[in-house]
Each structure stands twice: as C-alpha cells, then as structure tokens.
Amino acid sequence: MEKTVFEGWLESVSATFLTLNDQQRNQSLDHLISLSGAAQLRHLSNGLETLLKRDFLRLLPLELAFYLLRWLDPQTLLTCCLVCKQWNKVINSCTEVWQGVCRELGWKIDETIQNASHWKGVYLKAKLRMMQLKDQEAFETSSLIGHSARVYALYYKDGLLCTVFSVDYNDELDVLVSGSADFSVKVWALSAGACLNTLTGHTEWVTKVILQKSEVESMVHSPGDYILLSADKYEIKVWPLGREINCKCLKTLSVSEDRSISLQPRLQFDGRYIVCSSDLGVYQWDFASFEILRVIKMQDPANLSLLSFGEVFALLFDNHFLYVMDLRTEAISGRWPLPAYRKSKRGSSFLAGVTSWLNGLDGGNDSGLVFATSMPDHSIHLVLWKENG
C-alpha cells in the first residue's frame, strides 16, 4: 500500500475508532492482536512497557521521589533496593528515609551525619538487634567468682562493679551519701571520710539514695541544684543538697496511703523525672511539679521489678526472666532467662549495667554489662550484650 493511501486509511480508521464505545474498542484491539505476527507483538510489548510501566523513581525529581519513599515501610524499602541498580542508587541516597526508619526503632539520630548508606547500615544492625532481643539471642552470660561468703549488695558506676550498699557520691561537692537500716541518710565528706550530717524522717530501711543535678526549675529548686533522693518501703524523700549540707526535706512522694502497697527498691532520677516501681506498677513523676505523669500497669507488678527506665526502653525483671519493654507501646520487645538468683528485698543484690541504650540505640551503645546479680554460690552472675550484634 502506498504511503499516501495508507495515511488516508489510517486517518479513516482512527476517526471510526474514536466513535466506538469502550467495549467495541477493546474488541477491535483484541482482533488486531490476533492478526499480529511476532514483530508486531514485540513492538506492542515495548510500547506498552513505556506507557504503562513508567519508572517513577527515574522520571520524578529526586525531591518527589524521596517524599514518596518516606511512606514505605523498611522491609518494602529493602525489597525496592533489589529492583535495579537505579532504584538502589536512589533509595541509598535518601538520608531522611533511613534516618526515619532508624528513629522508629528507637535509635538515636545524629543529624550531622548526612550519609544515607550509614543510616541504612545502622537500620540493618538495629533490626538484627531487635530480632535478637525477640529470639533471646541478644545477650550472653558470665560469672565473677572469688567471694567466700554471700554477696549482699552490688553497686555499678562508670564501668566499675563493687559490692557496697545504697550509696552515691559527687566529686564536685566532695560528698558521699549512704542509706541505712537505721532509717537515716548520712552525708559524708568524700575526701576526709567524716560524717557531715544525718538526715532523718524515714520510717523504714533506706534502700536507695541518688545524688543528681536538677535539670528543671520549680518553686523549690533551680536547674543546676544538687538534689538528693532517698527511698524506703513506702516513701521517696527529696532533699536539696548543695553547698549547705544541713537541709530539710522538700517533698515526700508515695503511691498510696495503704501500707499494704509498697514501693520496690528501684528508684531512678535523671534531673527531670523520678521513676520508681511499686506493687501497683511503674510510676513516673515530673520533677518540676511533682505530678504523676505516667503509670505503667503490669500483669504481676508485685513480682516484676524495674531495673532501669529510659526514653525509649525500660529494663525489667522477675524471678525467671530479664525483660526489655518498648515504652512507646508498653510491649515487651524481648526477654532473657535468669538463673535461680537471690532477689534481695532491699534491692541491693541486683542492678543494671550500662543504661545509655535505654534512651535509644545508636549503633555503638549496645555493648557491655546489662544486668548483674549475686548467686547462692557466692558468685556474681552477669548478663552482657553479645558483640557484633
């Protein structure tokens, strides 16, 4: 058929095709396809792929592609990396996307690191750590052997594990504070070893003392003020401990007036929040107002004790297991079996190790000591992070 005749025929057929309804158009296309040979079918396949299977990651501006990628879950992102080299290149260059998925897992994000490959690697390590927590493969155990009698108390600070009871200290103040079974708190001169003051008011053994700078302001304290917290079976007392050693109690906190409900000997204070576990659950107070911010109810709060409380995770334990709780959902992320240890009522025979990871894993703080407790054979049982998680 000559070119001019073909062009006239094609124009006539096209005009007629436009007058058909959708069903008639589909039937016309089906008939033409049935009459086509290999060359026509190949041409049709190539054309349809361009029209219907457009590579939006290749065609869209990077800003729009990154915006769409932020809506995908991490597993889908990893699958998309396998589609082709171009997709892998685009996805691996989107820093915000990988920072976002790391943040969702509770990892700390350093905004100064604008390297997408770095954050993708961090995510893969985070995912592995979370899977190991779930599968009871994140930790390992060890023992310290050498005591010839029962270890009654443990103390851990700055990487040093010691066998002492209810103390804290501050080098700047040159002060050490200690809780006692005589219901008192003693303040000592750290360098001289002399007792400077005895704080009274507790009606039970003082099982925990914490010396910490305040990070918030209220009617009774300012940021930078040194604060002493002391806890017994029923109450937490707040003392302003600065250069003036003689001080009066600022506030007394409790969870109930019912003496059958007691605090557990696990107290935590970071300058902003006070956290303590009790027979009713884990309580969190705002230090600026002393108001209760949060109560985490647990299935068996009388037996499940708090070890340490962070911004993202909490470390808990009972007679059989060590638990990691995701504080955003209050769900248990993982657990680790514990041996038959001595669970002291004073809370002095067990402790948490390095706790910075509870504020969010950062790829480097999931190492070292997690938990330690004394054992009936006079040894000390350790739970440690496995290396190269």
Torsion of CA 252, 253, 256, 259, to 10 degrees: -50
Calpha distance 304→322 (Å, rounded): 10
**285 is a domain residue:** no
Do 155 and 198 lie in one domain? The reply is yes
Query: Is 98 a residue whose pLDDT tops 50?
Result: yes
For residues 1 and 12, the model is more confident at 12
Do 14 and 81 lie in one domain? The reply is no
Q: How far from the centroid of its chain's Cα atoms is residue 56's Cα?
A: 35
Calpha distance 58→338 (Å, rounded): 53
Question: What is the predicted pLDDT for the residue at 301?
Answer: 63
Neighbours of 76 (CB within 10 A): 11
Do 310 and 235 lie in one domain? The reply is no
Question: What is the predicted pLDDT for the residue at 252?
Answer: 93
Domain boundary among 135, 170, 196: 135
**282 is a domain residue:** no
- Give me the domain span that covers residue 70: 60-135
For the ranges 151-155, 189-193, 330-334, which has the lowest average pLDDT? 151-155
Residue that has been written with the tokens 């209220």 in this structure: 218
Do 26 and 87 lie in one domain? The reply is no
φ/ψ of 74, rounded to 5, equals -55, -40
- Average pLDDT of the segment spanning 100-123: 81
Calpha distance 334→325 (Å, rounded): 7
The CA angle 385-387-389, to the nearest 5 degrees, is 90
Domain boundary among 105, 135, 165: 135
**192 is a domain residue:** yes
Calpha distance 128→120 (Å, rounded): 12
Question: What is the predicted pLDDT for the residue at 230?
Answer: 92
Q: Is 189 helix (H, G, I), strand (E, B) or coil?
A: strand
Angle in degrees, 0-180, between the axes of helices 95-104 and 116-134, rounded to the nearest 10: 20
* C-alpha R_g of the chain: 32
**289 is a domain residue:** no
The CA angle 381-387-389, to the nearest 5 degrees, is 120
Question: What is the predicted pLDDT for the residue at 323?
Answer: 93
- Give per-residue pLDDT as tens, 334-381: 999 988 766 665 555 778 888 888 988 877 788 889 988 888 777 888
Do 242 and 179 lie in one domain? The reply is yes
Query: Is 238 a residue whose pLDDT tops 90?
Result: yes
